[in-house]
Amino acid sequence: MFFRHPCEPKPELPPVPFPIYPPSKNRSGDFFACNNKVHVYLIHNGSREPYCGERKMDADFDVWEPRYNTKEVCEATGVKMETLKTWFQRGLILGENETDVRENRTHRVERVLSFARVMQIAIMHKFCQLGLPASKAATVALAFTDLGEGNATWGDEVPTIKRHPGHIYEQGLTMLAAYPEEEFGYVFNISGFKDPNFYSKLFFPAGLQISTSSISGVIDVTRLYAQVKNGLGRAHIVS
């Protein structure tokens, strides 16, 4: 855990071309939220989850291996058990269908989830806090958990993978934005919140035709990734 030295000045908020409103007292979390009027909220709960080590862990960590039970998932993500059960019943979380789950329950086989599925749940939870319906938040999350990024190639050229599905970028911050016109989210990479390209990537996403006044929300996946890993580490020993 890192702490700021008392003599060190507080970090400045990132410069924005429009107003930043104070965070609501009844909301928390480390993410940006944009509403359809292009107002930006900077919501920060004061937590100092460590960023160090998660990229090294990421290289050796199988995000697709089922290992976490639903109790551990709820503890790590903050999602209530009844809410999680409802999401499964509605088919919003990729994985076992309810027929398989009922059969496993009959044989007393516990449902276990991979880290990628836990991240889908955590991302859904954040976007639901921003006001998105769960069905929309579920598909937005898939842009990070189930889609990666690489360069197009010709012939026998070996593609360059910039980001594998369910993994954060090796450098900088991994951001995930949601747009009303798009079913899936948009994942992009910035060096930090003072990155001069942050807002151009947010408001003019590559490959998407969107209205700049229609941004449902954007979250810092890198921080959430570390928070979820830390939460699961407290609830479940990750080898």
**In total, how many domains does the chain have?**
1
The residues, any chain, with a CB within 8 Å of residue 21's CB and separated by 6 or more, are 39, 40, 41
21 against 100, higher pLDDT:
100
pLDDT at residue 221 greater than cutoff 80? yes
- pLDDT at position 28 is 41
Tell me whether residue 155 is in a domain.
no
Tell me whether residue 21 is in a domain.
no
Tell me whether residue 86 is in a domain.
yes
Tell me whether residue 141 is in a domain.
yes
239 against 216, higher pLDDT:
216
Separation between Cα atoms, residue 58 and residue 118, nearest integer Å: 15
End-to-end Cα spacing for the chain = 21
Tell me whether residue 171 is in a domain.
yes
Q: Which of 31-35, 69-73, 82-86, 104-108 has the lowest mean pLDDT?
A: 31-35
Tell me whether residue 96 is in a domain.
yes
Per the structure, the complete domain to which residue 125 belongs is given by 52-147+163-235
Sign of CA dihedral 100, 105, 109, 114: positive
For residue 191, give the DSSP letter: S
Interval 124-148 mean pLDDT: 94
Burial 120-150 (b: 16+ CB within 10 A, else e): bbbbbbbbbbbebebebbbbbbbbbbeeeee
Interval 41-53 mean pLDDT: 37
Look up the pTM and report it: 0.72
139-166 confidence digits (pLDDT tens): 999 999 988 776 655 666 766 778 889 9
Tell me whether residue 88 is in a domain.
yes
Tell me whether residue 62 is in a domain.
yes
For residue 152, give the amino acid letter.
Answer: A
- Tell me the range of 6-20, 94-108, 145-159, 160-174 where mean pLDDT is highest: 160-174
Separation between Cα atoms, residue 180 and residue 209, nearest integer Å: 11
